[in-house]
Amino acid sequence: MKINSQTRTHRMLRWIRHSIALSLATLSSISMPYASTVLAIAPQEKKPTEQKIAPETLRAPIDPEHIRSNHLEAYVERALKWDKEVATLAANNATEGSEDSILFLGSSSIRLWNTIEQDITPWKPVRRGYGGSKFCDVALYTPQLIRGLKYQAAAIFVANDITGSELDKTPEEIARLAKVVINSIRSERPDAPVLLISITATPSRFKHWSRIEQANRALEKLSSEFKNVSFLETQSSYLTSEGQPKPEYFVKDMLHQNSDGYRVWGGLVRKKLDEMIGR
């Protein structure tokens, strides 16, 4: 007997429906432990995991009371990446510095200032700077960076809080964090003169200059709230008559200073130290 195409199609559809029903029945009879095993061996999407730093591995642990009393909780996780570098710097506190040293505290411009001794002579510098740090990082780690270190005065320069990032801080928060740094310095040396150095006008970040200027004004205002804390304005030495930053003072990245820039910076700092401390 011949089977026409319509009959063949009808039988095929019946076979498909029967197969689907059988499959569903089989799945429903699988026990939960077996189903769990199937799911367990099935490929799973891997979620990215954050690299956490275990507290017991820290070399320069931050005092919890310092964090709490200064409301620095939001900044701790970011700052932990500086742990080893801070510990390395702090390890030299007993051997570096003297009663007539000037402590320079801050970010990469301090760390990279390799000509500082001749640039600020006759003042004797001791540097505690690490690249990329922001005021929140310095605020958290100042106690470790200065504990046991001898110095007669301190200069602070941090310039990474306004870069065009969504994490940029307000001028008010920058000033609040700078105040934490000053208080930490004064807790070790109550009468030490402190110099807040203004954020430099650099070609690479000049598009954010109006906001950087606001931060500088906030730091200047902060200096007036303390006895023997001064503010050093550097703008006039780094801008042309047209109000643009001078590229000849910077290395290729147009952010960090070259030897000429440091020479100018050193002259400004030296003059201010002469005014603050005298000779």
pLDDT at residue 45, rounded to an integer: 39
Pairing label, strands 194-197, 229-232:
parallel
Put the strands of the sheet holding 229-232 in their side by side order.
Answer: 124-129, 101-106, 153-157, 194-197, 229-232
Other Cβ atoms within 10 Å of 112 Cβ, number:
16
169-212 confidence digits (pLDDT tens):
999 999 999 999 999 999 999 999 999 999 999 999 999 999 99
Domain 60-277 fold: Rossmann fold (3.40.50)
The whole-model pTM stands at 0.80
Grade residue 12 by pLDDT with cuts at 50, 70 and 90.
low
Residue positions counted in the chain: 279
pLDDT at residue 4, rounded to an integer: 55
Other Cβ atoms within 10 Å of 186 Cβ, number:
17
Spell out the domain ranges in the chain.
60-277
125-135 confidence digits (pLDDT tens):
999 999 899 99
Cα dihedral sign for 119, 121, 123, 125?
Answer: positive
